[in-house]
Amino acid sequence: MRRLVIVGASLGGLRAAQSARTAGHDGGIVMVGRESHLPYTRPPLSKELLKGTQEIEDSALAVGELDVEWRLGVPATALDRERRRVHLADGTDVPYDRLIIATGCRARPWTGPGATLAGVHTLRDLEDAVALREALRSSGRLLIVGAGFIGCEVAASARELGLDVTLVDIAAHPLLPFGPELGERWAAMHRDHGVDLRLGVGIAALVGRDGRVSRAELTDGTTIEADAVLLALGSVLNTDWLAGSGLELNPGVVCDATLTTVADPDILAAGDVAAVPLALAAGAPTRVEHWTTAAEHGQLAGRNALLDPADRSAHTTPPYFWSDQYDAKIQALGCPALAERIELLEQTPEGDRWVAACVAGERMLGIVGVNAARRLPWYRRQLTSPPPLAQVRDELAADPKRLGAPAEASA
């Protein structure tokens, strides 16, 4: 294999290039990036960077002496598998022998009235975070639309900065992927910290004064005054450039467990865009938009891309992610979003540290914990495939290190 092309110059792409070099690839590597930056880490963008406890430079991922040709600030526009070329926005194209797709997601746009007013933000890239940070420094009232992870983290950051925060979501609970049972806990956490949380209501229009947003009209007829608005409505895949390539793109770039696309053994995918069979999802091709998954996928894809398909190894690590809000470190393993119900498994007597199981049928598909970091390695071992909940409970009862039995029968 002579030339490895990696489209996507964020965490997954960088780890792919590094691991290809570590595994001995001495041919060319071309890294194509939509953004003009060298790779950086995104988790601080909604937290430390906004609060000013971390500087922009500290977000850079260590690149070291990595021998690659960078093509930054030039998005890929098309993939021609027949001629084995990636077309770029500047009209050039890049030939490949093997290709890794790691183009990630972008913020889901909102196109309602007032969407283009000054003071209306989304948060995905470094520029977004810098602009939002400036807005938080000069604003008194922030409206956040969408109480998912980004919306909730920014709400916490903005409250810590002393802003008045209104958080709106059309859903009945914040952090919906964790299910309704835990919704009251998250809602209470934000209300206890002074957030004006409005659930079950959407945004109808943003209204401005002199081209700047000044208030929002909600679907229930109420009005929220705001100096800045964050639209945190989730993400959409950066796979438009793959249309017509013949790759299967639903629910993402469909791969086998070795991250090899099902359509083409010379093309692999990593990170947010990769739909990979997941044991915890009964083998269904599943996309996982977590930092650690992008890192793990990248590392494996870089190594696998050098090998014949039969020699490639599978990705088996259960998904892990976290969210820091106020003094709560929320951590999750597995696939909470696929659960049918939540059952509290362990909790300190004070109730400030706990772990809950995300359950479908009689099997545990994942866990959610708050301030229970030391318990996670135990659950990680349980979750390589979905274990019966009864077995988890039995083993937990015998574990002297558990936090304590929950006081009530359920969450």
The residues binding other proteins (CB under 8 A) are 15, 18, 22, 41, 43, 61-62, 291-292, 295-296, 299, 317, 320, 322, 324, 329, 331, 371-374, 376-377, 380, 401
* Of residues 25 and 141, the one with the C-beta less far from other proteins: 25
d(C-alpha 189, C-alpha 168), whole Å? 15
* Of residues 60 and 405, the one with the C-beta less far from other proteins: 60
Residue 283 backbone phi and psi in degrees, to 5: 80, 5
Cα torsion angle, 30, 36, 41, 43, sign: negative
CA angle 360, 324, 299 (to 5 degrees): 75
Residue 272 CB, nearest approach to other proteins (Å): 15
Residue 408 CB, nearest approach to other proteins (Å): 24
Nearest Cα to 368, choosing from 354, 389, 384, 347? Answer: 354
Residue 22 CB, nearest approach to other proteins (Å): 8
Single-letter amino acid code for the residue at 1: M
Residue 314 CB, nearest approach to other proteins (Å): 16
d(C-alpha 342, C-alpha 364), whole Å? 9
* Of residues 227 and 346, the one with the C-beta less far from other proteins: 346
* Of residues 94 and 370, the one with the C-beta less far from other proteins: 370
Residue 53 backbone phi and psi in degrees, to 5: -85, -5
Taking residue 319's Cβ as centre, other Cβ atoms within 10 Å add up to 22
Counting other chains too, the contacts that 58-61 makes at CB distance below 8 Å and 24 or more residues apart are 59/126, 61/11, 61/14
Radius of gyration of the chain from its Cα atoms, rounded to whole angstroms: 22
d(C-alpha 74, C-alpha 112), whole Å? 29
Residue 131 backbone phi and psi in degrees, to 5: -65, -40
Residue 377 CB, nearest approach to other proteins (Å): 5
Q: What totals of helices (H) and strands (E) does the chain contain, helices first? A: 8, 26
* Of residues 71 and 303, the one with the C-beta less far from other proteins: 303
Q: What SS3 state is found at 157?
A: helix
Instruction: Match 């708050």 to its residue by tokens.
Output: 370
* Of residues 11 and 345, the one with the C-beta less far from other proteins: 11
* Of residues 44 and 285, the one with the C-beta less far from other proteins: 44
Residue 63 CB, nearest approach to other proteins (Å): 12
167 within 8 A of 156, measured Cβ to Cβ: no
d(C-alpha 49, C-alpha 41), whole Å? 11
d(C-alpha 182, C-alpha 152), whole Å? 14
* Of residues 93 and 324, the one with the C-beta less far from other proteins: 324
Residue 353 CB, nearest approach to other proteins (Å): 9
Residue 79 CB, nearest approach to other proteins (Å): 28
Q: Which residues contact 133 (CB under 8 A, 6 or more apart)?
A: 49, 50, 52
Length of the chain: 411
* Of residues 54 and 214, the one with the C-beta less far from other proteins: 54
* Of residues 181 and 346, the one with the C-beta less far from other proteins: 346
Residue 2 CB, nearest approach to other proteins (Å): 26
* Of residues 43 and 73, the one with the C-beta less far from other proteins: 43
Query: In a 10 Å sphere around its CB, with 0-12 CB exposed, 13-18 middle and 19+ buried, how is residue 303 labelled?
Result: buried
Residue 373 CB, nearest approach to other proteins (Å): 4
Residue 60 CB, nearest approach to other proteins (Å): 9
